[in-house]
Structure 1
Amino acid sequence: MVKIKIRDMCFGYGSTPILEDVSVDIYRSSFVSIVGPNGAGKSTMLKCINKILMPNSGDIHIDECNLKHMKRMEVARNLAYVPQSSNRIFPTTVFETVLMGRRPHIGWFNNEIDKEKVWQVLEEMGIEDLALCSFDELSGGQQQKILIARALAQDTGVILLDEPTSNLDIWHQLDVMESVQRLVSEKKVTALMAVHDLNLASRYSDQILMMKDGKVVSAGKPSQVLTTENIAKVYGVEAHVYNHAETPYVMPLKQLDVGVSS
């Protein structure tokens, strides 16, 4: 069943197009990665889905409801958004940071039920021991898990993640990806993630959207999207793609004389 339906979505700043005629279906309880070079429109697409930005044309439907007609708080009850790491500034404890995710349901006030929900989420994420720590004093990997916990506390059917593994070491990259995959599997959440690492996307995603210059060039299972031809066309890179346990892995070999977005 389709959870998010996007049809003919366009967005731009003035005369500069960022997204052009994007049409995709995101299925319920799936883990979908958006890949592509810098400037491809990955983050912009997530912000349009979350109504942070308003498309110039086209439609986005969440459970058959048109996003255009949804108020900000209604959007927040349906979609949780985890921003890029550069936006992490919370001079609060971990518990208070995660409690922020309850605001679409309780406004500025909270009760014992909401606090219990936060404790439940912290335990599910395995970070209850950090509850009283200052968010700003934690490592990047710990902060990322807490932002995911905040999104989980928001109790939505969709989580949008904007490059959550950027600037993390390999252990924390895997930790974040495992956490999101577990939410999809156990909580039946739909996760849509912008990510640069093709091999992480391949290993964990049910579906990959590959973008270039604001357009979806290829969409489907990792084995359908991560081909030598697509990587050459989108990234301007010659690569070898090999399969292990039916999962494709990409080994870049050299740059091609093909320009891509910077």
Structure 2
Amino acid sequence: MKRTFLMPLILLTLGCSSQNEEQPSTNEASTFEGTKQGGAGEENYGQSTLYALVEANAEDFSKAAANKDIGFSMGKDDARKVNGVINLKISGKWKPLEVFRDTLLNTNHPKTREYRYLGRNKDINKYLVAGTSYKDYQTYLVDIDTGEIMATTWTEPIVSPDKRYLANVSLPTAMEPSPNGIQVWKVAEQGRTKTIEQYIEIEQQEWEPFEMYWESSRFIIIKMIPMKKYALLQGEPKQDDFSYLRLTIK
């Protein structure tokens, strides 16, 4: 169970670097498999045909963080909100997206919902919109040409250096039920459209993620706290409380 002293819902700062790696040979989705195991010189936190998750360290995280980049940027005339509805330029023309309509703002109603435009990424041709409710936070990848929602993610995803993947961790929140882990998405060509397919989802209760950065196009460093330690914390975590993982995308 997650601790009640956790920070409120926030957008995590994610990042990426510029090194490229080899393309994996399959695109099937994968979920978390296995528990922490002993390895040769490092702990293994899970693996599948699509990924391996092992220990990393603070230096790895710092180096990856130094290469961070902004995945989505806001243009001056990309979006506007009219009567509580987000309008986006779809194929160059303004279009209201009713699915992003604010609901019951400034109330304590459990169905309160507010949407914010977060930016666009030209490389994958997608807008990013965030939705916040009484107990939930999600982001939505919207195709710039069609206005279709291509994927719904736990938090703001960051594009890999080779522009072929996106990744995001869950929010460190006390709200339950809520996801806990990391998602990786694959950018796929489908005609003239770039689709977003879920590639890996690791949802578990062994560690609580806080931040992630792309170390290269196939490696992600995750800043986390093991759940056993997390349950014993009194107040906000200190820097020494954190541990680190390296996710390898095969």
Q: Provide TM-score, normalisation by structure 2.
A: 0.31
Between Structure 1 and Structure 2, which shows a larger proportion of helix residues? 1
